[in-house]
């Protein structure tokens, strides 16, 4: 497999990472997740949408006893395992290719789930260039995150935590309402405004979704911004 090397400059960085043609590359949201992550000694961590494996690597370096990363993109296991090995945590990290948590051991119980999955509406994702494997969040961007919430609840121990990223570039209210219904306890940990590329800001699908109040963008001078947030949910 052809690979490139990129540099992670977020928490515990700089860290060089291999990425393949279909590997989801770390984003500003990934950096927010990393900064918000609290790992307790002995924790079992599940990293849903692991991509290059960067959040799994950080969780292991912060003291997790076991980390399981899952991603639907082809090449996930090969790429993420190579990165974990290069950074000295391969003995505690295992990667799987598949849908959400479906490939994980059936009896697995987690103390922390990192839910950094795609939550961008399909029409916007298809022109963004952010998802080389063609994976996105569903028609409104809420469908995949909501399914992840439901599946995460099944594997979290009592007292376990879920880090949930959301953003104004998706049907955020639906995701948060379902999270409250499922768990009842949300706490916002981080928020950041992120510039929106002009190709997306001017796209008809985005304009339509803004009018439908499914997504929300703001304007600062000539630039359009969307807002990313990270939430902690406790069982």
**pLDDT for res 61:** 98
The DSSP call for residue 7 is E
Helix (H) or strand (E) segment spanning residue 212: none
**pLDDT for res 136:** 84
Do the Cβ atoms of 37 and 24 come closer than 8 Å? no
**pLDDT for res 41:** 92
pLDDT in tens, 160-179: 999 999 999 999 999 999 99
Of the two residues 200 and 9, the one the predictor is more confident about is 9
pLDDT in tens, 99-143: 999 999 989 999 999 998 878 899 998 888 787 777 788 999 999
- Dmax of the chain from CA atoms? 52
pLDDT in tens, 11-64: 999 999 999 999 989 999 999 999 999 999 999 999 999 999 999 999 999 999
**pLDDT for res 11:** 97
**pLDDT for res 2:** 83
Instruction: Name all domains of the chain by residue range, CATH numbers in brackets.
Output: 4-193+229-234 (3.40.50.150)
β-pairing verdict for 223-234 and 186-196: antiparallel
Residue 184 predicted with pLDDT over 90: no
- Tell me which residue of 68, 92, 94 sits closest to 81, measured CA to CA: 94
207-210: long-range contacts, CB 8 A cutoff, minimum separation 24: 209/121, 209/124, 209/140
**pLDDT for res 105:** 92
What six digits make up the tokens of 161?
A: 């935590």
């Amino acid at each position: 497999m052809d690979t490139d090397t990129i540099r992670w400059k977020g928490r515990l960085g700089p860290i060089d990472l291999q990425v393949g043609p279909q590997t989801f590359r770390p984003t500003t949201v990934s950096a927010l997740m990393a900064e918000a992550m609290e790992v307790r000694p002995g924790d079992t961590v599940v990293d849903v949408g692991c991509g290059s494996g960067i959040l799994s690597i950080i969780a292991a370096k912060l003291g997790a006893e076991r980390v399981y990363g899952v991603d639907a993109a082809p090449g996930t296991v090969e790429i993420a395992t190579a990165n974990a090995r290069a950074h000295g945590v391969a003995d505690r990290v295992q990667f799987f290719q598949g849908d959400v948590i479906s490939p994980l051991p059936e009896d697995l119980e987690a103390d922390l789930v990192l839910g950094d999955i795609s939550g961008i509406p399909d029409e916007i994702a298809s022109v963004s260039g952010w998802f080389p494997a063609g994976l996105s969040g569903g028609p409104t961007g809420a469908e995949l995150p909501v399914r992840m919430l439901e599946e995460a609840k099944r594997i979290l121990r009592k007292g376990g935590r879920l880090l949930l990223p959301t953003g104004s570039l998706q049907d955020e209210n639906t995701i948060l309402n379902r999270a409250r219904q499922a768990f009842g306890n949300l706490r916002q940990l981080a928020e950041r405004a992120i510039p929106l590329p002009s190709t997306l800001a001017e796209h008809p699908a985005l304009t339509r979704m803004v009018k439908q109040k499914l997504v929300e963008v703001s304007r600062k001078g000539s630039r359009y911004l969307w807002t990313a947030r990270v939430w902690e949910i406790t069982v």
